């Protein structure tokens, strides 16, 4: 009986031992899981922000590391003085985070002006208060404005540039524009907005919001571009395109501003700048390039075959010289569009090869009331595509467009190809 009792006692102790080991295993697993989560969280916080840029409205800046925190945008004077004392000389920290709750800069900062202060200053006073940060050419362009020349002027763009060495971020703040011309003849006003591109690669394309019915728009929008080394800043160029929004047709181009960053020193802090808005690149209107089109009219099936073959010598869509062309084909009957087609986009080339065929059904007998419009456009993901050139073929067309049309009418079922010069869109 004694051996049987001992075996029963040992059998009863087995679940207790298993339970103890299971408890230790559970505690170890939970601790390991918590440690892994903490490591992942810390590694994520140390990684470089994945953003290309951060777009901020009305001067309130938000960096990626602040998105998950409840930290206020305003900072007290003690924290500002502490940060300034601990900042190394060769490092630049953006003070966009040191604005008040309204997004304005404190008056103690000498180089930065708030938006409300900028609105109360005339262009002349604005230039006098930042002589150290703006080139003499820009000051001359502002002070030389007279009442006689105002009609020919397209206005002035005010903006600021800054580089954050700690975050490797290039910061552009589009403050305002003044003295824009009225693009709407009825209301004698405009609906302006600004497109900005960093050249020459055109990787960063951004635009501001549209401000309604104003000739002096105050945008105050900040664009922060990450991952741009300071050594490459000198090779870049900023291209500002000032436009007026039109709901019913293509937006009107007011003008442009081109800022080469070569020679501009950003290591000392934020740089306030202004530039006079000039007319769009005049060189583009001298030649729009050529388009090779093949047409064939099938009188038996009453169809028109259009082949977009090639484009050559296309002009620069902007100062970078890189275009992404494609062709939009519109078929008109009695001046009413009845069909539309488009080719694929060809990347970064002034001499594109399309070789794309389209077949249109003609709703009437003959081609007397039929015309075809070809629009060569530059593909732009960030905004509305820009028209490079235009071509119209039909009975009333002039030059090679009319000749080509008459030939396909005289020789049906024959594929006839011709080069055509593009005109302004």
Residue 246 near residue 258 (C-beta atoms within 8 A)? no
What whole-number distance in Å separates Cα of residue 52 and Cα of residue 107? 31
22 has pLDDT over 50: yes
What whole-number distance in Å separates Cα of residue 331 and Cα of residue 340? 6
Give 352's contacts (C-beta < 8 A, 6+ positions apart).
310, 311, 314, 325, 346
Residue 317 near residue 386 (C-beta atoms within 8 A)? yes
Helix (H) or strand (E) holding 310: strand 303-312
- At residue 201, the pLDDT reads 72
Top CATH class, 155-284: mainly beta
54 has pLDDT over 70: no
Query: What residue spans define the domains of the chain?
Result: 155-284, 289-422
What whole-number distance in Å separates Cα of residue 344 and Cα of residue 325? 9
Helix (H) or strand (E) holding 240: strand 237-244
Q: Tens of pLDDT along 303-319?
A: 999 999 999 888 876 55
Residue 112 near residue 270 (C-beta atoms within 8 A)? yes
Give 119's contacts (C-beta < 8 A, 6+ positions apart).
176, 218
Question: CATH 3.30.70.940: does it fit domain 289-422?
Answer: no
More confident residue, 327 or 78: 327
Q: Tens of pLDDT along 262-309?
A: 888 888 888 999 999 998 754 444 468 899 999 999 988 999 999 999
CA 134, 135, 137, 139 torsion-angle sign? positive
* CA distance to 231, 314, 360, per residue, from 255 (Å): 30, 21, 38
Q: Tens of pLDDT along 366-389?
A: 898 899 999 999 887 666 788 888
Most confident region among 40-44, 155-159, 366-370 by mean pLDDT: 155-159
Most confident region among 47-51, 221-225, 250-254 by mean pLDDT: 221-225
Characterize the bridge pairing of strands 271-276 and 156-164: antiparallel
Taking all residues of the chain, what is their mean pLDDT, rounded to a whole number?
A: 75
């Amino acid at each position: 009986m004694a051996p049987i009792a001992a075996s029963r006692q040992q059998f009863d102790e087995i679940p207790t031992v298993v339970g103890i080991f299971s408890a230790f295993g559970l505690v170890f697993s939970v601790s390991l899981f918590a440690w892994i989560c903490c490591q992942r969280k810390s590694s994520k916080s140390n990684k470089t922000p994945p953003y290309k840029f951060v777009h901020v409205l009305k001067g309130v800046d938000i960096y990626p590391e602040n998105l998950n925190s409840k930290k206020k945008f305003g900072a007290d004077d003690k924290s500002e003085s502490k940060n300034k004392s601990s900042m190394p000389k060769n490092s630049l920290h953006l003070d966009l985070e040191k604005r008040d709750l309204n997004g304005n800069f404190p008056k103690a900062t000498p180089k930065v002006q708030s938006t409300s202060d900028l609105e109360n200053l005339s262009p002349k006073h604005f230039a006098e208060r930042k002589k150290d940060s703006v080139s003499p050419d820009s000051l001359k362009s502002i002070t030389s404005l007279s009442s006689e020349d105002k009609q020919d002027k397209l206005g002035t763009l005010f903006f600021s540039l800054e580089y954050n060495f700690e975050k490797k971020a290039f910061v552009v703040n589009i403050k305002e524009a003044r003295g824009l011309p009225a693009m709407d003849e009825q209301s004698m006003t405009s609906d302006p907005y600004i497109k900005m591109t960093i050249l020459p690669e055109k990787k960063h394309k951004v635009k501001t919001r549209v401000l309604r019915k104003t000739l002096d728009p105050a945008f105050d929008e900040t664009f922060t571009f990450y991952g741009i080394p300071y050594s490459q800043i000198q090779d870049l160029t900023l291209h500002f395109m000032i436009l007026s929004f039109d709901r019913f047709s293509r937006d009107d181009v007011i003008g442009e501003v081109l800022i080469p960053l070569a020679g501009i020193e950003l290591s000392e802090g934020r740089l306030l700048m202004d530039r006079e808005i000039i007319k769009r690149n005049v060189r583009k209107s001298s030649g729009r390039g050529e388009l090779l089109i093949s047409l064939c009219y099938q009188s038996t099936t009453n169809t028109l075959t259009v082949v977009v073959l090639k484009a050559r010598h296309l002009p620069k869509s902007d100062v970078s010289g890189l275009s992404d062309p494609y062709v939009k084909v519109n078929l008109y009957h009695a001046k009413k569009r009845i069909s539309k087609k488009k080719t694929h986009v060809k990347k970064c080339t002034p001499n594109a090869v399309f070789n794309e065929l389209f077949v249109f059904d003609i709703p009437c007998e003959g081609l007397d009331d039929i015309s075809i419009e070809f629009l060569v456009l530059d593909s732009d993901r960030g905004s509305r595509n820009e028209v490079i050139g235009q071509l119209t073929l039909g009975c009333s067309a002039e030059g090679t467009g009319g000749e080509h049309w008459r030939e396909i009418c005289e020789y049906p079922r024959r594929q006839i190809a011709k080069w055509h010069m593009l005109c302004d869109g």
